[in-house]
Chains A and B, each alone.
Chain A
Amino acid sequence: MTYLTKLSAAALSELLVAKEVSAVEATRAHLDHITAVDTDLHAFLHVAGDAALQAAARIDARRAAGETLNPLAGVPIAIKDVLATHDMPTTAGSKILEGWVPPYDATVVARLRSAGLVPLGKTNMDEFAMGSSTEHSAYGVTRNPWDRGRIPGGSGGGAAAAVASFQAPLALGSDTGGSIRQPAAVTGSVGVKPTYGGVSRYGAIALASSLDQVGPVSRTVYDAALLHDVIGGHDPLDSTSLTDSWPSMAAAAQAGLTDGALKGVRVGVIKELSGDGFQAGVTQRFTETLALLVAAGAEITEVSAPNFEYAVAAYYLILPAEASSNLARFDSVRFGIRVNPESGSLTSEHVMSATREAGFGAEVKRRIILGTYALSAGYYDAYYGSAQKVRTLIQRDFATAFSQVDVLVSPSAPTTAFKFGEKLADPMAMYINDVTTIPANLAGVPGMSIPIGLAPEDGLPVGLQIMAPAKADARLYTVGAAIEQLLEARWGHTMLSQAPALTPTEMFASEEGAV
Chain B
Amino acid sequence: MSEITAEQVAHLAYLARIDLSPLEITNLTHDLGQIVDSIAKVSEVATADTPATSHPMPLTNVFREDVVVPSLTVEQALSGAPDRAGDKFRVPAILDEE
Question: Chain A interface (Cβ within 8 Å of chain B)?
Answer: 100-104, 195-197, 210-211, 236, 239-240, 242, 307, 310, 312-314, 316-317, 324, 328, 331-338, 341, 345-354, 356-357, 360, 362, 365-366, 368-370, 372-373, 376, 382-383, 385-393, 395, 427-428, 431, 441-445, 470
Which 4 A-B pairs rank lowest in CB-CB distance, beginning with the nearest?
Answer: A444-B56, A335-B80, A386-B46, A388-B52
Known: A354-B19, A366-B31, A372-B15. A335 touches B42 (CB 8 A): no
Partner of A386, one of B21, B43, B64, B97: B43
Q: Which residues of A contact B62 (CB under 8 A)?
A: 239-240
In contact, A369 and B38 (Cβ under 8 angstroms): no
- B74-98, CB < 8 A from A: 76-77, 79-83, 89, 91-98
Known: A345-B96, A357-B19, A444-B57. A392 touches B82 (CB 8 A): no
Partner of A389, one of B17, B36, B46, B55: B46
B interface, over-half SS? loop
CB of B37 to closest CB in A, whole Å: 9
The proximity string for B residues 21-56 relative to A, scoring 1 for CB distances below 8 Å and 0 otherwise, is 100100110011011101111111111001111111
CB of A96 to closest CB in B, whole Å: 11
The verdict on B18 contacting chain A, using a C-beta distance below 8 Å, is yes
CB of B73 to closest CB in A, whole Å: 8
Sample (23) of A-B pairs whose CB atoms are under 8 Å apart: A104-B76, A196-B56, A197-B56, A197-B57, A239-B62, A240-B62, A328-B16, A333-B91, A335-B81, A349-B96, A351-B92, A353-B17, A365-B18, A366-B28, A366-B31, A383-B39, A385-B52, A386-B42, A389-B50, A389-B52, A441-B56, A443-B56, A444-B57
In contact, A383 and B19 (Cβ under 8 angstroms): no
CB of A398 to closest CB in B, whole Å: 10
Chain A residue nearest to B97 (CB atoms) is A345
CB of B32 to closest CB in A, whole Å: 6
Additional 8 contacts, C-beta under 8 A, given A349-B17, A392-B52, A444-B56: A103-B72, A197-B57, A242-B57, A313-B38, A362-B24, A369-B32, A373-B12, A392-B51
CB of B60 to closest CB in A, whole Å: 11
In contact, B93 and A393 (Cβ under 8 angstroms): no
In contact, A393 and B45 (Cβ under 8 angstroms): yes
CB of A334 to closest CB in B, whole Å: 6
A173 CA to B14 CA in the complex, in Å? 33
In contact, B79 and A346 (Cβ under 8 angstroms): no
In contact, A368 and B16 (Cβ under 8 angstroms): yes
Chain B residue nearest to A359 (CB atoms) is B18
Q: Which residues of B contact A351 (CB under 8 A)?
A: 92
Q: Which residues of A contact B21 (CB under 8 A)?
A: 357
CB of A403 to closest CB in B, whole Å: 18
A352 CA to B47 CA in the complex, in Å? 40
In contact, B20 and A357 (Cβ under 8 angstroms): yes
Q: Which residues of A contact B41 (CB under 8 A)?
A: 310, 313
Question: Chain B interface (Cβ within 8 Å of chain A)?
Answer: 4, 8-9, 12-21, 24, 27-28, 31-32, 34-36, 38-47, 50-57, 59, 62, 64, 72, 76-77, 79-83, 89, 91-98
A197 CA to B4 CA in the complex, in Å? 37
In contact, A332 and B56 (Cβ under 8 angstroms): no
Chain B residue nearest to A325 (CB atoms) is B16
User: How many A-B contacts if CB must be within 8 Å?
Assistant: 190
In contact, A103 and B46 (Cβ under 8 angstroms): no
In contact, B28 and A369 (Cβ under 8 angstroms): yes
A272 CA to B45 CA in the complex, in Å? 16
A120 CA to B45 CA in the complex, in Å? 47
In contact, A210 and B55 (Cβ under 8 angstroms): yes
Partner of A236, one of B45, B64, B77: B64
Chain B residue nearest to A471 (CB atoms) is B57
In contact, A337 and B82 (Cβ under 8 angstroms): yes
Partner of A369, one of B12, B45, B46, B72: B12
Chain B residue nearest to A442 (CB atoms) is B56
In contact, A334 and B39 (Cβ under 8 angstroms): no
Q: Which residues of B contact A365 (CB under 8 A)?
A: 13, 18, 20, 24, 28
CB of A335 to closest CB in B, whole Å: 4
CB of B51 to closest CB in A, whole Å: 6
Q: Which residues of B contact A360 (CB under 8 A)?
A: 18
A348 CA to B17 CA in the complex, in Å? 10
In contact, A348 and B91 (Cβ under 8 angstroms): yes
CB of A346 to closest CB in B, whole Å: 5
Chain A residue nearest to B37 (CB atoms) is A428
A331 CA to B72 CA in the complex, in Å? 20
In contact, B24 and A370 (Cβ under 8 angstroms): no
A385 CA to B72 CA in the complex, in Å? 38
- Of A332, A354, A390, which is in contact with the most chain B CB atoms at under 10 Å from its CB? A390
Chain A residue nearest to B82 (CB atoms) is A338
Partner of B16, one of A103, A324, A337: A324
Partner of B51, one of A101, A196, A239, A389: A389
A435 CA to B91 CA in the complex, in Å? 43
In contact, B42 and A383 (Cβ under 8 angstroms): yes
